[in-house]
Structure 1
């Protein structure tokens, strides 16, 4: 019996020691886990953050469209500058000056759009309307300013039409969109009344589109080719003898001119002889009328 109790006591002590050791090991593992937790958190925080969740397809498409269209529109719009000029140059010989002008035009790839020549007693005038590529405009003006003659006047102007060109282009694009919609409606029209109304709208839109396209073509032409109005002026030397001789000769010439004027006056009076014949007749009739008036009194 004693042996049995002793055996049970030993088993009890063995179990208690095992539980204590297990508890100690568990506590040790918990402490280690607590100590390792901050390190793990630190390691996780040092890793790169995960990418954000993908956007919805609709919002992504809309954003990509805005980003791809808006900047491109701004980049593709170039400045639209129209340059015009007026120059008046006094030259010694119109023909020689015209030869120089033709050489300058050839070097700058310009051409004459309109030409007009006037020859009066006092001067000679050659008016030229010149069209020149936009990039060669300044060089052309400089060439005319150097060596062609004496510049009497020069006026150069620049007009920025970028805003107008952009506005017309946007409106034109919108009108074309509406035109296609009206054409689709015309194909699906059910009644004759609807067809006539849609056709009228289509006609108006086509007219407006033609006007807008014409305006854009005009602006492009004025931008690509600048216009310069050039006037070559030559003052004539007076050919009369009074501009080349002294006072005595001028005095004689003045007497001659006076005599010629007097002769011209007499000839003019002679040309009025029919009216002079009427004067005596009018006087005779007036006297008869006056005498009759006195007899009645």
Structure 2
């Protein structure tokens, strides 16, 4: 506690004499059951013993100490200020002298841990004149991290208490993660995007450097005969150029590559059908000629 020195000046007939007295304590008023508004205080500093719930201060414990600074008597002197000390830490609030209620309490320090800093409202870090990093808790569920440049909001991201994550970029809404794997439902993603569970989408587009098998329709393409295909299936129990069930179970499938393999089989099947159609038409012609004879 700082010492308060009181200077008592007495005017005497011969010469002025100055007496000094040192205060040994500051009186604490027991006003535990009241919560006075800013209008109650006028040009004073006061320390009071308060019931914590009566003044609505966060923290822990039944009682608290309330320190009030009221530098002026009306709004022209701007805010009155209060600090509340309790077992949960140190809390601050303010209010204009003419107001009948205080603003909300804000945590300044906490007794929960010496390694944590608890802030309420907005924390701005100015790295230079054009870049500002802002941390803003707008409600109980979202934590927003806002990045500004040249006074204009460029990008913000949000972390939700339920585990959700969002990024909003003003020009296009892009999400960019460079040099990192992303896991959903897994803590050790081994690919750029690893999802443990279902994926539901209205549209999926796979872009890859894959050759579309339209070469099947070229005249020099050697189409496997149906007999050869039959023999391959009897021996391997799956179509040629299609991985077996065991291979898919162990390695999964590449969607783009598998779609091209299936497209190739559809094209080959179309050629088989065309070949059968030509044989059928030729057989019908021969039958018709035999009937005419």
Sort the TM-score into its range (normalised by shorter chain): under 0.3
Query: Which of structures 1 and 2 has the larger relative contact order (alpha carbons within 8 angstroms, sep 6+)?
Result: 1
Scaled by the length of structure 1, the TM-score of the pair is 0.17
Scaled by the length of structure 2, the TM-score of the pair is 0.17
